[in-house]
Amino acid sequence: MGFAPLDEPYPWDRLAPYAERARAHPDGLVDLSVGTPVDPTPAVVQDALRAAADAHGYPTAHGTPALRSAIKDWFARRRGVADLDPRAALPTVGSKELVGLLPSLLGLGPGDVVVAPEIAYPTYAVGARLAGAQVRRADDVATWAGDETVALVWVSSPANPTGAVLGAAHLRQVVAAARRLGAVVASDECYAELAWTQPWTSDGVPCLLSEEVSGGDHTGLLSLYSLSKQSNLAGYRAAFAAGDPDLVARLLLLRRHLGMIVPAPVQAAMIAALGDEAHTRAQREVYHTRREMLVSALVQAGYAVDHSEAGLYLWVRQARGRSSCWEMVAAFADQGILVAPGAFYGPSAGGHVRLALTATDERVAAAAHRLTTGPSGQECAPGPS
């Protein structure tokens, strides 16, 4: 299975029998298949939401001036983008809706090509196909540079599902090649605050809009970000995009017509979340602890963790021998652990599974224990072979 056609069932529905299998474990299910936050929404954010609950008027699709200013300030503090125009900030109803709708909002259709990473979140391709455009899976810029049919290029860094980070030099190549074609570059950066390895922990994950990538020119560029991950706001559907002021203005006009508007109380909550970095640091440490526990257990159990330099996922394969992703999904399910098969993310990902860090400390500890002990509770010898 590669990128699912629009008439196929939702990919995660295929996990239902494995979920039932995992639930049969005596100690219950450990669900590491989907990256949905399980920790509390920060009190500072909940307080802001409650304070803005009297929202009798229609909110603005462009976001309040205070929200756009908060987005601008956050980009300057956290993403190395000192020159963002507040007019070029746009709140979105979660980031997934804009990922799925962007090709249509840009007016793409038959004859246009949307470039997506070879191993990627399926919604990039679903959005292209919804617009009637073609999808080209490519990580190497040389495979599409110079092709006049390319109208939109997606990059994802840190990537879902692999956790790989793209360096500034690669991003510069993408921007230069796309600009020669007049194509838009959209960068999905929603895991950027969750870096785990050097140099990204010290230097930060490069942002598409930063001067080292864009040269200080945001023309044709769009950075997407979500507060679901760093602030546990998945239920708020709180995200935003920023970049080229003219591009954002085009998107805003259509979104006003369509009523794609972030609710006013959520906009207030976003301001609070963007302005408070203490809760982000604390949540990052929670994920770091869970990650270390799972990585250690996986390695001891004979698995290898590839990439996974940042983000909420571990990209896992057998260290010795070879199994398909579905064989590994079944093996994990027999231990009461539900994981996502690599096949959901592209045809070249069939030898991996994805494990999310978004389970409680107790459930992550349970998964680690199961991975490192046999059915009798004795320590396992390392490795499937």
> What number of other Cβ atoms are within 10 A of residue 129's Cβ?
17
Residue 252: name the closest of 263, 264, 240 by CA. Answer: 240
Q: In which element (H, E) is residue 187 found?
A: strand 184-188
The upper half-sphere exposure of residue 138, i.e. CA atoms within 13 Å in the direction of its Cβ, equals 17
Q: What percent of the chain has pLDDT over 90?
A: 92
For position 7, what pLDDT does the model report? 67
β partners of residue 116: 137
SS3 92: strand
For position 9, what pLDDT does the model report? 77
As a whole number of angstroms, the distance between CA 165 and CA 155 comes to 10
Residue 238: name the closest of 71, 359, 353 by CA. Answer: 71
Split at pLDDT 50, 70, 90, the class of 41 is: very high
As a whole number of angstroms, the distance between CA 252 and CA 230 comes to 25
Pairing of strands 303-306, 113-116: unpaired
Check if CATH label 3.90.1150.10 holds for domain 11-40+279-372. Answer: yes
SS3 14: helix
Alpha helices in the chain (DSSP H): 16-23, 43-51, 65-78, 96-105, 123-131, 168-181, 200-203, 211-214, 228-231, 245-258, 264-275, 278-300, 325-334, 361-372
Domain residue spans of the chain: 11-40+279-372, 43-275
Q: What pTM, to 2 d.p., does this model score?
A: 0.92
Split at pLDDT 50, 70, 90, the class of 261 is: very high
User: Which residues, 6 or more positions from 82, have their beta carbon under 8 angstroms from its beta carbon?
Assistant: 76, 211
For position 374, what pLDDT does the model report? 58
Give the DSSP letter of residue 195.
B
The yes-or-no verdict on residue 58 having pLDDT over 90 is yes
For position 321, what pLDDT does the model report? 85
As a whole number of angstroms, the distance between CA 263 and CA 151 comes to 31
The yes-or-no verdict on residue 125 having pLDDT over 90 is yes
Split at pLDDT 50, 70, 90, the class of 2 is: very low
State the amino acid at position 166 in one-letter form.
Answer: L
Encoded tokens for 150: 């390319």
Question: What mean pLDDT do residues 330-358 have?
Answer: 96
For position 376, what pLDDT does the model report? 41
User: Are 139 and 345 within 8 A, CB to CB?
Assistant: no
| Choices 3.10.450.50, 3.40.50.2300, 1.20.1250.20, 3.40.640.10: CATH for 43-275 | 3.40.640.10
